[in-house]
Amino acid sequence: MNEKIDIKDVTPVKIHKPSNSGDSSAYPARSRIYVRAVEGMLENIRRFFGLIFLGVFALIPWLQYNGNQAVLLDIGEQRFNIFAMTLWPQDLTILAYIFIVSAFALFFITTFAGRVWCGFMCPQTTWTFIYIWFEEKIEGSRNKRMKLDQRKMDADKFFRKTLKHFSWVSVALLTSITFVGYFTPIDSLFVDFFTFDVSFWAGFSVIFFTVCTYGNAGYMREIMCTHMCPYARFQSAMFDKDTFTVAYNPERGEKRGPRSRKVTQEQLQEKGLGDCIDCNLCVQVCPTGIDIRNGLQYECINCGACVDACNGVMDKMGYDKGLISFTSEHQLAGGTTKIVRPKLIGYAVVLLVMTSLLVFDIYSRVPLEIDIIKDRNSLYRETNQGLIENVYTLKLLNKSQQDRTFKVSISGLESGNYVGVSEVQVRGGEVYTLPISVTSDPYALTEEITEFKFHVQTQDENGEIIKIEETTKFIFTDV
């Protein structure tokens, strides 16, 4: 009981927030964040990835494969066409593996480099910066936009605001049509929508996602990242002291304060000043409106805008770059960052295992399937020849994108005879309904229910035989 307990100072720091509108209620109104433009290496990288992401997103629905849309996620027909592969509800494991691999890839990247997905590839961030770009081009720089909003409505303000919102709606509409084009043929969607000949659900979806894109990127912006996205809340569970994230170096920057460029390092030391000149540019360029100098905050999306802004100031002042940088807690404390560590290895191993299972599942996937439906109106009947007949409906599913010839046969039923068409042509990605019947000599049936098998075989593009079999039951109750 006499042992001392170490006490850790957890005094909260004051975090920068957008100023309130004067409402002193418990839930004050949110004020707008005016994001300042920034140039730098990380900004160029973010733009590069943004352009790649936009290009891939816009191009994929227009690709053609074997005369059809290469990627078409047809929910109505319950099939997903992805180039040469067609996924059906029976292929749920492949979709599950894809989501699991994506999740663990995100966990791995987050553990290593923080929230870089949010800052460089997230659609919300990408479209937000696109909308901010239109703001800058139409309404001007940050200070000009602030002054414009403070002005009373006049012809110039009305024109600029109208042009800005028209641009926002246009981007949102093109985005929405492209997105819906993943689920319905995009070539006809563009024509039908603008000629008011589109189906109800396709038109509703386009309008719905247009409103969502316009609202999210135009108005909600950082609210999506700070209040609605669950990733911001549980990301800390993946962080450790070796995770690279955007951070401010207080040992080098404090005590902060303005100064002239002509002030020498000796004079700075005499005044007790660090390298931070307290210009607040790091706050002005932040899309979520935080002050990175207050430490790691869940609102930070690791876009690196504050890094570029601070490096630009350091260049002008003649100081070394890196006052704000992608670094780890260990490195800030004067230690070294451990790249290879148990948590990162664990995520890498699980990611490798799940990726291997996904590849194996796709590789071992049989491009055909059979579903047997027993006629329930009559369990069996006796033919004119005295044979017992059971009627079935076969659903032959061609999972490939090529037309194939399916051959059907039976086995395991003594004196059993297949009655019906035994060879059919099934188009790629189609389900063929084949009604058939099976007969047997009643004296050969020793049980009321006899199990036997249907066999279906076809050839792939290389001439190799592909076979599947399905067990069903033959019923005769007068045994």
End position of a domain, from candidates 237, 262, 293: 237
* Window from 204-213, 257-266, 367-376 with minimum mean pLDDT: 257-266
404 and 296 housed in the same domain: no
216 and 275 housed in the same domain: no
- Residue 4: inside a domain: no
State the average pLDDT for the chain: 88
- Residue 129: inside a domain: yes
**DSSP string of 151-164, one letter each residue:** SPP-HHHHHHHHHH
Res 298: pLDDT: 84
Q: Is the pLDDT of residue 14 over 50?
A: no
Question: 350-400 pLDDT, tens per residue?
Answer: 999 999 999 999 888 888 889 999 988 888 999 999 999 999 999 999 888
297 and 381 housed in the same domain: no
86 and 69 housed in the same domain: yes
**pLDDT class for 26, splitting at 50, 70, 90?**
very low
What percent of the chain has pLDDT above 70?
Answer: 94
Res 297: pLDDT: 86
- Residue 341: inside a domain: no
274 and 405 housed in the same domain: no
Contacts of 425 (CB under 8 A, 6+ apart): 403, 404, 405, 406
Question: 33-51 pLDDT, tens per residue?
Answer: 999 999 999 999 999 999 9
Distance of alpha carbon 315 from its chain centroid, rounded? 37
CATH code of residue 426: 2.60.40.10
- Residue 15: inside a domain: no
Q: How many helices (H) and strands (E) does the chain have?
A: 16, 16
452 and 375 housed in the same domain: yes
430 is in which domain, residue-wise?
368-475
309 and 404 housed in the same domain: no
What percent of the chain has pLDDT above 90?
Answer: 64
CA distances (Å), origin 303, targets 73, 118, 153, 239, 414: 32, 7, 34, 17, 71
Res 269: pLDDT: 81
362-385: b (≥16 Cβ within 10 Å) or e = eeeeebbbbeeeeeeeeebeeeee
End position of a domain, from candidates 311, 332, 353: 332
Distance of alpha carbon 376 from its chain centroid, rounded? 44
From CA 433, how far away is CA 414, in angstroms rounded? 26
Q: Is the pLDDT of residue 28 over 90?
A: no
Residue 266 or residue 350, greater confidence: 350
Which residue from 127, 210, 218 is spatially nearest to 165, judged by alpha carbons? 218
290 and 430 housed in the same domain: no
324 and 388 housed in the same domain: no
171 and 273 housed in the same domain: no
**pLDDT class for 195, splitting at 50, 70, 90?**
very high
End position of a domain, from candidates 184, 216, 237: 237
From CA 171, how far away is CA 444, in angstroms rounded? 72
**pLDDT class for 30, splitting at 50, 70, 90?**
low
What average pLDDT does range 54-70 have in this prediction?
Answer: 91
User: Which of 293-297, 425-429, 434-438 is most confident?
Assistant: 434-438
273 and 215 housed in the same domain: no
Question: 329-339 pLDDT, tens per residue?
Answer: 999 888 888 98
225 and 92 housed in the same domain: yes
CB atoms within 10 A of CB 188: 13
Number of residues in the chain = 479
Res 2: pLDDT: 56
Q: Is the pLDDT of residue 159 over 70?
A: yes
In this prediction the pTM is 0.80
CB atoms within 10 A of CB 38: 22
